[in-house]
Chains A and B, each alone.
Chain A
Amino acid sequence: MTVLAIKDLNVTFSTEGGQLHALKNVSFDVPERRIVGVVGESGCGKSTLINAILGLLADNGSIDAGSITFEGEDLTRLGPARMQELRGQRISTVFQDPMGALNPVLSVGRQMRNIQYRSGRSRSEKDARSEAMLRQVRIPDAQAALARYPHEFSGGMRQRVAIAMALMMKPALLIADEPTTALDATLEVATIELLRELQQDIACSVLFISHHLGVIAELCDDVVVMYAGEVVERGTTRQVFHTPRHPYARRLLECDPARQSGRTRHLPTIPGEIPDLRQRPPGCVFATRCDQRVDACDKVPPDVAVETGHVARCVLAEAR
């Protein structure tokens, strides 16, 4: 079963300099009970993707084509009222900065009670559920913690409180946008282990956005690699990390300082810049920076299925 199916999604923004194609023919699935990671540099369309799913695109943005099917409903066709019903209940989010997600002037218990406004539970049932949830994210002395305010928690704990709130209503899909970037390595690992455990417990799917290839490798079942608003490669984490087929994905993995065996002062990079999304090249979007460019790259590259579930948007993937 697929919880979220994105098909040929195109999003544009009207800007002074013309139409900006932020997402172009984006397709991928988030299957039931899988954790799908999205990697790509800043500006590659990760945030636009999240906002399109949540129905929160800026006023100058529009979905021109494609569909986002979530539990059988096409989110691109839903009205604001239905979207609001889904958000926080069936689809929830955790962001990089937990302080931005928590209300500083309400106690944690009050906020957790508020989230359950649709549940029909009594106040004491809601509080009991909040307490159980805090215990599950390993907040010590959960009952007392309900009376505390967000600033009274440390950074790592705050992020765990935000995760508890996001999973409170047992959503089908959790969108986690760089949730561990602000934490040190020990807390980062503890947080992803916790996420994994809760995901299995609640049996939800997770869309996990991160720059950190190590975290993706460790946590995710599947990976989607984005470049300049396109999904250039997708597959299981093993497929993509062990046998990347798109040149950008391959170069990106090679650039990770963690992959340099010896210590080096000069880290590998991908020369060139991301193209102007207002004037997308007619062919492959990575061609200008690609070291394996051929004539066929001037045409729109096909999505090549190199293996079951492993797709690369590159003409060279076909040849092999």
Chain B
Amino acid sequence: MSGILEIRDVEVTFEVGPLMRRRSILGVAGVSFDLHAGETFAIVGESGSGKTTLARAINGLQGISNGSIRFDEERIDTLGGRAMKPLRRRMSMMFQDPVGSLSPRMKVGNLIAEPFRIHGIVDKNPNVEVPRLLSLVGLTPEFADRYPHQLSGGQARRVGVARAIALNPALIIADEPTAGLDVSVQGEVLNLLNDLRERLGLAMIIITHNLHVVHHVADRMAVMYLGRFVEVGDTDEIFRAPRHPYTAALLSANPEPDPDKARDRIALPAEVPSLLARPAGCEFHSRCPWVAARCKSEAPEFVQSETRKVACHTPLEPGARPPAMEVTL
């Protein structure tokens, strides 16, 4: 099956520091993956690990310094802003802050009709399209007359979803689509995205911190650390048996809503290395409980075994416990 999106060895470089001592850092350091129609792919990892940068690179909001991005078999990373514009009809983005991404001076109806205007689509009547989109996201037509500040957090997200699906995209990239929402509203937004995915055959990339959400909505997931994928695979399988130590630590840290639950955590030293001073060898070795001599000098390959890809010299066996180590949090 051919993918709708094909990402190969993508790197994003940022220039930092004062003029005379300018250095470049790799925000995204060689990421590859495929996405198929109708599939939901989650990217998890800490803030600063490059998730949002990767999403912006896919959408063409951020240039890449290496690698290639193909969308529907067409290479898009080399396209300029103007050539990219028609493609954005088919690839839409949902940003983190729902109210912040809506202009406070425009009514909801105009906000939803805006994509049609921007792309010069005249054969669609906004008086038909706006109510249709509102009902698709579960809002009544009266909402067209409201301003963003008159919406609740959940309603603002719905308007964001309506805008994202207005032009029938094939792909939605959602950056923290439920951050700041309580669990009930979060469920509504995720159910809505999932319904639309099923009905419209959308492919979706979801970027989030919330591992419980990932478990329920994503078919496949990738774990990102310092701008690289360290583990990619089927969500269920990764939750059952993580093979990269960082994934295992993330899953074990996931707080559970039960005050009496026994917690069996893999503790990690809290120091995340700087992108300016990437560790030699395996970049996770400075925090890895299973670290061995080899990890400090030799970078692991990103190895494919069956349905899983892992960047580790000695991937974990199911249920592996960390060796006793001095934890310096």
The one of A253, A256, A274 that contacts B212, using a Cβ cutoff of 8 Å: A256
Q: Is the CB of B179 within 8 A of A252?
A: no
- A56 interface hit (Cβ, 8 Å): no
- Bound-complex Cα distance A42 to B189 (A): 14
Distance, CA A258 to CA B239, complexed state (A): 13
Output the least CB separation between A147 and chain B (Å): 16
- The answer for the CA separation of A6 and B298 in the assembled complex, in Å, is 59
B257 within 8 A of A: yes
Neighbouring A residues of B216 by C-beta, 8 Å: 257, 260, 263-265, 267
Asked if B256 and A255 sit within 8 Å, CB to CB, the answer is no
B 149-186 contacts with A by CB, 8 A: 152-155, 179-186
Contact A188 B255 (CB under 8 A): yes
CB-based contact B153/A43 at 8 Å: yes
* B291 contacts partner chain A, Cβ-Cβ < 8 Å: no
A214 touches B253 (CB 8 A): no
B interface, how many residues as a size bin?
35 or more
* Structural contact, B259 and A184, CB atoms closer than 8 A: no
Question: A248 to nearest B CB, angstroms?
Answer: 9
Contact between A218 and B255, CB atoms less than 8 A apart? yes
| Minimum distance in angstroms from A30 CB to a CB of chain B | 18
| B182: contacting residue among A42, A140, A182, A214, CB under 8 A | A42
A185 lies within 8 A of B257 (CB): no
**Closest 3 CB pairs between A and B?**
A214-B255, A184-B46, A41-B182
Interface residues of A (CB under 8 A from B): 39-44, 138, 140, 154-157, 181-190, 192-194, 211-218, 237-238, 241-242, 251-253, 255-260, 263-270, 273-274
List 16 A–B pairs whose Cβ atoms lie within 8 Å, in order of A's numbering. A41-B185, A138-B329, A156-B270, A184-B46, A184-B250, A185-B209, A186-B253, A186-B268, A190-B270, A211-B183, A218-B263, A241-B259, A257-B215, A265-B194, A268-B184, A270-B184
Apart from A182-B209, A257-B212, what 18 extra A-B contacts exist at CB < 8 Å? A41-B154, A41-B181, A41-B182, A43-B153, A154-B48, A155-B46, A155-B48, A182-B47, A184-B44, A185-B250, A186-B253, A186-B268, A188-B255, A192-B255, A217-B255, A217-B258, A238-B259, A267-B187
